[in-house]
Amino acid sequence: MTRAQTGRAAEDLAAAFLRAKGWTVLERNFRVKTGEIDLVARDGDEVVFVEVRARASRDFGGAAASVDAGKRRRLVRAARAWLAARGWDGPCRFDVVAVDGGRLEHLPAAFGADGR
């Protein structure tokens, strides 16, 4: 399986997981010059920007640990573009879904709008 196929499979798994929790997936792979958001979803009255990371194993910290400060900054910039384009001024947050060797872990509110 190629890296792109692995990423797509992890995104499919994450989207199915979130839908099973009753969320609505609004958009997949939102791209702007400043970054990309894997999934944009709705959890009740909150928009959630979801970064999906996949790794074959938890070696070297696993998938969740790979969301470094630079990636968080790019996600925040992309989220600001999404919010502006959609005119959303309600609550929002940043979650991470980590898939390590087929095991899924959901990290709600993994970081804030300041990238920390």
pLDDT at position 103 over 60: yes
Distance in angstroms (rounded) separating the CA atoms of residues 21 and 9 = 19
pLDDT tens column, 66-90:
788 899 999 999 999 999 999 999 9
pLDDT, tens only, 32-57: 998 999 999 999 999 999 999 987 65
Q: Hey, what CATH class is 3-111 in?
A: alpha beta
- pTM above threshold 0.75: yes
Q: Which residue has better confidence, 7 or 23?
A: 23
Instruction: Give bridge partners of residue 41 from the DSSP assignment.
Output: 25, 48
Domain-wise residue ranges, the chain: 3-111
Concatenated DSSP letters of 90-106: S-EEEEEEEEETTEEEE
Q: What is the mean pLDDT of the chain?
A: 90
